[in-house]
Amino acid sequence: MSDTDTRIQQVAQVLGQLDDSQIPRNIRTSAKDAVDKWLLNEDKDLDIRLGMTASILDEIFNDPNLPSHFGPLCLQIQAALETMLAEVKRS
């Protein structure tokens, strides 16, 4: 497993933390879709997977119903995705 694959798995695990009863259902669904349909979908190009996941996270972060203590988590994940995306584009 490459370093990028390991980091993607870590991001997927952290996104799993949004599957919490304190989180509104629409946000939980969006986070699950981001992981299942994009981040871990190896049928799509890596840059598209990372970009779409980051885009969905941006929507989640801007949702007024997101509990405030999950906001920093979303920002950290988004920063990690953008870093990986920049690395993919360079190589």
Residues 32-80 pLDDT 10s = 999 999 999 999 999 999 999 999 999 999 999 999 989 999 999 999 9
Name the class of domain 3-90. mainly alpha
pLDDT tops 80 at residue 1: no
Region 11-25 average pLDDT: 92
Picking from 19, 24, 15, 34, the residue whose alpha carbon sits closest to that of residue 74 is: 15
pLDDT tops 80 at residue 18: yes
pLDDT confidence bin for 2, thresholds 50/70/90:
confident
| Token duo for residue 28 | 């939980």
CB < 8 Å & 24+ apart, contacts of 2-11: 4/46, 4/84, 4/87, 4/88, 7/80, 7/84, 8/39, 8/40, 8/49, 8/84, 11/39, 11/53, 11/77, 11/80, 11/81
DSSP state of 44: S
Query: Under a CB-based contact definition with an 8 Å cutoff, are residues 80 and 7 in contact?
Result: yes
pLDDT confidence bin for 91, thresholds 50/70/90:
confident
